[in-house]
Structures are given as structure tokens and as C-alpha cells.
A and B are shown apart, each in its own frame.
Chain A
């Protein structure tokens, strides 16, 4: 078994083991063991990647290729570069944190953990796939468990939210399918056979006419899950109704599938289409950045605030990708990682607060810093990271993005960049507003005086998210080198 396929097999084995779990205790132990192994594998992969990269300068390493459907030239083809390695690490850590946060999942625990792990299989598979078909399969596997996860274990208008989210994302993947088929049937312009393999397609140039049609389809297909304005509306409803671990995984990891797919498939394979359409999507992305930030100011539900903040932050990722230069791309990937950890941390904290106070309405909360100091303090730290304070990952990412964006000197790019930059100020407003109302000030409700202290598993979950935020912020170079190296093939395609 190669090092990458383990990312599929280990979760599958975990699911099989979970099938025999009798109780919550059993289920969470099995899930914990499984996800700890995954984290270990991911960390091991990072070291293995550096070792391999020292001797092997192929675009993708640890590649493996098995023929699946011969007549369509569909392969099970896997491999990773620095970007996917980083995202795999992110995924495994968020999954583990999600298991910790769901430690007391009373209702149908076995089914909950199984769905959660099915979702993670989809995400792992997506990040390691080099074959568009396989990638698409994993993409859908990652989306569909959301329906059950939100629908069964969610809160509030969960049936509506689950249905809306599933239909929007599956609708997007349906559009994506047309885009993928368009790429597939234009992959033989070099004279070779039709292929789904990303690396092979990158070698041929798809005719411009086809790129012009299929780039936007592929882009939108992926960008809906990356919360591109105006297709972001599933995100606030979905995230606010989902149970905590699912919000974490979804906002932290699943939304990154969008950015990754846009980058790896739409832009990498159809650079001319990207150049042709970038103005249009830059407008949407920049508008999404500022819109998400303003929408977050008006919200009173913690989860809604965070969901809109995600729309804003991920709009920034798409914006950076469309800047078409190395610095901005580096920023986009770093922002994906940083947002992944940050938003997962936020959702975890919100879940803990909600579990204790039974409300997410910030107007009813107050003075939490006095009663649950650990959670509140981490909330402040996460907030500061989110608004881009130096020393945290958010700063590194946004700095890169805006430096990259300002490399363009025509008026359109300048205006779009200025609009996006101004969102940072708005971000500070909504973050500090929450901190002020919810954490500072008098305690509004006497019942809050004896809230449960933070438990060990919650602490572990929090630390798992918090440490990388600080690590990337303090020492960004090692990870940014890993990313920059992997950006080379993209640069070659676009230059």
C-alpha cells in the first residue's frame, strides 16, 4: 500500500470498525484512534515529501496509476505536491479536532462518526487525485454526507438548511460535470488519446474556443463550494444549522475544495480561459469579500457571523488566485490553510459556548471572559488572527495576497484590490464587536456564573487548531517554501 492510498484505506477501515461499535464510548474511541492515525500519516507525509523532493523534482510525487475504466481512459491516479500535502495536514487535524469536539455526541453516535469519516474520505481523495474523474467522484462523496450530518444532528431549521446546502452544492457539481466533460473531449488536441489525467491535459493546449465555454462552468462548479458571491447563500444557513464538528470540517476543509479545484483544474488546465474571464470573477470575488464582511457586522448569531466571515475570507482566496501571480497565489494557499484552522477553531469555540449557555445570540451573552476564561481567551486570539494581526497566520496570508495584487498596475486591478483591502477594516469591526459584547462587560445572565469549565478533550481540540495558526504566523517560511516550489508548474502555464 502506497503512502497516499493509506489516506483512503485507513478511514475505510475506521468505518468498518465503527460498524461494530456498540455505544458512544466505543464509537468515539474507534473514531479517535482512526483520526490520530490519520494525523500521524499526514505528519509523516510532510517529512516523506521533503525527503522525496530532495531527490525527485517531478511536479507530483508519490504518484501511482491504476487503470480503472479502460475504454474511457479513466484511471485511479494519485500524487501530491506541496499544496496538497499542506491541505492534507489541515484536513487530518480538523478531523481529529472534530472528533474531540463531538466527544459527547449522544444521538446515534456510530452513524455520526461514520458520516463524518465518509466526508473526510471524500476530502482526502479529492486532494490526492490526479484524474478528473476520480477527483469528481471524491468531490461528491465529500458533499453528500452533509445532508445527513446537518439533517439528523443539526439545530434550528436543519431540514431546510441541509436540503439547501446539498442541492446547491450538488447542482454546482452537476455544472462542474459539464465542464469536466468539456475538458475531457478536448484533451486530445495534441494527438494523443482522450484523457482525464490532469498532468497529461496540462501538456496539451485546449482550444481557446473550448476554454472560453468550459472555464466558467468549471470555475463556478468549484467556486460554489468555495462560497463565491452570489452562490454563497448555502454557507450561512448550512453552517449555522450544522453540528459543531460538521461546521468545523465544512468551513475548515470542505470549502477549500473549491479553491483547490479552481486552481488545480479550472485555471491550470485552461489558462487562456482564465485570462479571458478573470475580470468577471475578480469583480464577483472582490464583491464577495466586502459583502461578507459587511454582512457579518449586522448578524447577531455567532455562527452566522463566522459563516459570513468565511464568505469574506474565501472570497479573498479566489480573488488572490485570479491575480495570476506567484505572490498572490502563495497568499491564497496560505489563506486557505490559515482560514481552515481559524474558522474551525471559531466554530469549535462557538459550539462550546452554545453547549454551555444554550444561545448563540450575542445580545444575550456578556462577560464570558470572567466565567469561561480559557474559551474566551482563545476566542480573542482567534479573532485577532482573523483580522490579520502580525504573528498569526492570517497576517502572512493577507500580506502576500495584497502585495501580489498590487503588482498589477492598471486601474481595474487597483480598484478591485482597494475594495478588498478595505474589508480588513470591516473585519476588525465585526470581530471586535463580538469580543466587546460577548466577552467583556457585565455578565447578563446569572445562570452563566456557574458554567461548566472547559474539559480536557475540548482543550485538546482547541490546541490542535490554535498551534498551527501561531506556527504559520511565526515561522511561515518552511510552509511557504513548500508552496512556492509547487507553484512553478502553474507559473510556467501562465507565463
Chain B
């Protein structure tokens, strides 16, 4: 056995080792010392994230079922960063709610298993591996969504997630079987050479996109999103909104740009329609939300619509802009979720009205939130602006000017509801504001990292150039 085989799967192996190690260690940790497990988990995962930057290898395993390239390694690293931020933000909640019920380590194990599924998902070289990845990444999250057993809405969220995920993966599988039926292979490389625009293939493509659409929460497959986000613990909502969505976007990119590249003229109108519907519905529903979690849920639906603008371009530039946007979106959305989480853990308040006068009591949190919302809305000089501008550029480069126009209309609509939160925090004064509080150091580190990302990713151009280089090589 060559060491290189291990290196190809090193992210997976290391993550699995961490999960198992934590599970085993818990047995030896006394009940009153469980808190140390949090530090251990975060430390190990941080090291794992750092290691992800090194030892990049390109190659295939298991006869092409599993493959790794520098780009796929980048995908994994992006997901790692997101998960690390989610973990850091979750610490206060774990200490408060989870450890008290004497359920510590399962949270990490489930989360890491789900991440492992995403690794397999983006590394997939055939549909079987992809399907396994989807399943492995979804099932643990359903358990996590129902993690707060004391809360009825949490169990409801878990049930809703598992049902819609099961339906989605069933549909995906149905689509896969049709593609297998017409092409006689499940390997991506084989299919792209034999693919023809027969009715069955197109149906397969549609069903498969629909299945992935559930994970990205594209309209009309978005119905679970708001309820699940609202019911589940905030860490899980943020995990769903960035990591789960990001991984699904990556695999959709790989599928549409390599496997289904010959059918571009067929999937373009499809993506076009979904993009318009997703942007408008997400934005219009977000306008009237009162609960921060539901608000962010609909905002994340709308953001997914913008992502499709890069996908529709179908060019390496389009791919680069999508990856870049996802990276920025992770930092922006996690900053917003982080503030919501910090406030929720300390005060239990999660309505927009509760945020009134926040700047006067908690200026730093409000500023982080403002930056995050500006980034989501696409206001320069924060990174979100660059992400959106490049997505629009990618779409316009292929002549989709009208779609870009609809996109910018949506940017303006979205600005309205993002400003509503800023209005509550900065403009309003409240009789009964959220009092000053100090969050745990992990949350603060996470928020600082998010802010750095939001500020630096846009202005500091080498990040985009690096992604662009990898996409050109794809």
C-alpha cells in the first residue's frame, strides 16, 4: 500500500479518525470535565482545517469512484472553514444546553459524519459515490436538527428535514437510474462522452437537479427551509445554510459543467427559470419576516438564486465566480448567524423587534451584524459586493443581460429587508433593549474571523485569482 493512496483520502481519514477518537475519549472523561471535550474537538478540527491546505494530491481511487484534484481539495477546505466557524459559534450553546443534558460528544460526531458525507459528495467520480455522499451528509443533520429535545419545534424540524431529504434523495436516485438506463454507466467520465439529448436523459437531468435543488433550497424545492431553520438549533441552521448548501452547489457545478456539459442548451433555460423564481420568491418572502432565523432562511434562499447566475454562464469564469461567492457567503452568513446565536444564547431573543436599540447597548455585535448584512446585500467595500458583481459579470459575459437586470432588481429588494434589521439596531431606540453582555471567547474569535473574511476577501484580489486559476484548469 502506497502512502500516496492515503494522501488522496487524507481529509476523509483524518476527519473519521477525529470523530472516532472523540467518541472513544468521552468514555474516559469524567462527567464534570465534559467541557474539555469541546476544546479538544475544536482544537483537533482546527488542526485538520489547517492541514487541508497542505499535501494536495491529484488522483483517483477505487477505479475512479473517488477522485481528488486541487479544486476538490479547495472545496473541502472551504467546507472545513465553514464548519470550524460553526463549531466555534456553537460552543456557548453546547455548554449551556447540551452538556447539561449529558449529551456532549454526539454533537461533534454527528456533525463530522455529515461533513464526511460532503467530502465524498464533492469527491465523487460516479453517481453511486455521489448518492452515498448525499445520504451520509443528510441523515446526521436530521438528528442534529432535532437535538434540542425539550423544544417541540426542534423535533418538528428534524422530522421535516428527514422527510424532505428522503423525498429529495429518492428523486435524485430516480434521475440517476434514468441516466444509467440511457448511458449504461454511472461514471461521470463515461457519461459525458456518450450523453445525448434523449427524452429519458433530460428527465433524468431534471430529476437529479431537483434532488440537489432541495439541498440548495431552490424554489420550488424550498418549502422545508424556513421551518427547519426556525426549529433547529441555530448552529444547525447555519450549518444547513452554508455548509450543506455549499457542498450541494459544488457538486451541481461539477455535474453541470462536466457531465452534462453537452446538454448546456437544455439545462440553461431550466436554471434560468429556477434562478428567477428563487430570487424573487426568496426576497419577497423575506420582506415580512419577523423572526431572525426565518428571515435569514429566506435570505439564504434568495442568495442561492444569485448563485445560479454564475452557474448559468457555464464557463470557467462562471465556475470561479460561484466558488468565490460561496466562500464569501459563508463568511457573511455565518457572521449574521453568529450574532443571532450569541444573542439567542444569552437572552433567548430572536425577533427583529428585539434588536431595537442594540447599537446603544452592544455596539460591537451590531457592527458585525451590519457588516454581515451589507455583505449579503452586496454593498462595497465589503466582500459580498465583489461576489455579486462577479456573478453578474459571469452571467452578462454569456449575454444574459435581462437575467442580470432581474438580478439587480432583486439586489434592491433584498437591500430593503437587510436595512430593516439595520434600522432596528441603529435607528430605533428601545424601552427595553437587549442588555450588554459578553459572549464566550470562541464566539468572539469566530466573529472576528468572519469580519476579517468579509473585509479582506473582496479587496484582497489574489483569493479570487487563485480560484479562477483552478477553475480554468477544471
Q: Do A and B bind each other?
A: yes
A residues at B contact (CB < 8 Å): 68-72, 133, 136-138, 140-141, 144, 147-148, 151-152, 158-159, 162-163, 166-167, 170-171, 174-175, 177-178, 181-182, 184-185, 213
A71 touches B468 (CB 8 A): yes
- In the complex, chain A residues whose CB is within 8 Å of the CB of B412: 167, 170-171, 174
The 3 closest A-B pairs by CB, nearest first: A174-B408, A151-B427, A181-B396
The CA of A389 and the CA of B264, in the complex, are separated in Å by: 66
Q: If the complex has contacts A140-B379, A174-B411, are A181 and B392 also in contact, measured as CB distance less than 8 A? A: yes
- In the complex, chain B residues whose CB is within 8 Å of the CB of A184: 393, 396
A72 touches B390 (CB 8 A): yes
Main secondary structure, interface of A, reads helix
The CA of A152 and the CA of B423, in the complex, are separated in Å by: 9
- In the complex, chain B residues whose CB is within 8 Å of the CB of A136: 380, 389
- In the complex, chain B residues whose CB is within 8 Å of the CB of A185: 396-397
Residue of B at shortest CB range from A147? Answer: B419
The CA of A69 and the CA of B393, in the complex, are separated in Å by: 13
| Neighbour of A152 across the interface among B317, B397, B426, CB < 8 A | B426
B422 touches A147 (CB 8 A): yes
Minimum CB–CB distance from A13 to chain B (whole Å) comes to 16
Q: Return 11 A-B CB contacts under 8 Å, by A number.
A: A72-B393, A148-B426, A148-B427, A151-B423, A159-B427, A177-B389, A178-B401, A178-B405, A182-B401, A184-B393, A184-B396
Minimum CB–CB distance from A270 to chain B (whole Å) comes to 15
- In the complex, chain B residues whose CB is within 8 Å of the CB of A162: 427
The CA of A148 and the CA of B359, in the complex, are separated in Å by: 12
Q: A147-B419, A162-B427 are in contact. List 5 more A-B contacts (CB 8 A).
A: A136-B389, A159-B427, A163-B416, A171-B412, A175-B408
The CA of A163 and the CA of B422, in the complex, are separated in Å by: 11
The CA of A182 and the CA of B409, in the complex, are separated in Å by: 16
Interface size class of B (residues with CB under 8 A): 20 to 34
A177 touches B380 (CB 8 A): no
- In the complex, chain B residues whose CB is within 8 Å of the CB of A148: 422, 426-427
B461 touches A68 (CB 8 A): yes
Minimum CB–CB distance from B391 to chain A (whole Å) comes to 11
B residues at A contact (CB < 8 Å): 317, 320, 374, 379-381, 385, 389-390, 392-393, 396-397, 401, 404-405, 408-409, 411-412, 415-416, 419, 422-423, 426-427, 461, 464-465, 468
| Neighbour of A178 across the interface among B317, B408, B423, CB < 8 A | B408
B404 touches A181 (CB 8 A): yes
The CA of A185 and the CA of B465, in the complex, are separated in Å by: 20
Minimum CB–CB distance from A212 to chain B (whole Å) comes to 13
B381 touches A152 (CB 8 A): no
- In the complex, chain A residues whose CB is within 8 Å of the CB of B426: 148, 151-152
- In the complex, chain B residues whose CB is within 8 Å of the CB of A181: 392-393, 396, 401, 404
A140 touches B468 (CB 8 A): no
- In the complex, chain B residues whose CB is within 8 Å of the CB of A138: 380
Which of B397, B409, B461 has most A Cβ within 10 Å?
A: B461
Q: If the complex has contacts A174-B411, A182-B401, are A137 and B393 also in contact, measured as CB distance less than 8 A? A: no
Minimum CB–CB distance from A61 to chain B (whole Å) comes to 26
The CA of A163 and the CA of B464, in the complex, are separated in Å by: 33
Q: If the complex has contacts A151-B423, A163-B416, A182-B396, are A70 and B408 also in contact, measured as CB distance less than 8 A? A: no
Which of B320, B380, B423 has most A Cβ within 10 Å?
A: B380
- In the complex, chain A residues whose CB is within 8 Å of the CB of B380: 136-138, 140-141
Residue of A at shortest CB range from B374? Answer: A144
- In the complex, chain A residues whose CB is within 8 Å of the CB of B416: 163, 167
The CA of A140 and the CA of B379, in the complex, are separated in Å by: 7
Minimum CB–CB distance from A158 to chain B (whole Å) comes to 8
B381 touches A141 (CB 8 A): yes
Minimum CB–CB distance from A146 to chain B (whole Å) comes to 11
Q: If the complex has contacts A68-B461, A69-B464, A140-B380, are A170 and B396 also in contact, measured as CB distance less than 8 A? A: no
Residue of B at shortest CB range from A217? Answer: B405
The CA of A167 and the CA of B390, in the complex, are separated in Å by: 22
- In the complex, chain A residues whose CB is within 8 Å of the CB of B405: 175, 178
The CA of A138 and the CA of B385, in the complex, are separated in Å by: 12
Residue of B at shortest CB range from A70? Answer: B465
Residue of B at shortest CB range from A139? Answer: B380
- In the complex, chain B residues whose CB is within 8 Å of the CB of A133: 389
Q: If the complex has contacts A71-B468, A72-B390, are A137 and B381 also in contact, measured as CB distance less than 8 A? A: yes
Minimum CB–CB distance from B355 to chain A (whole Å) comes to 15
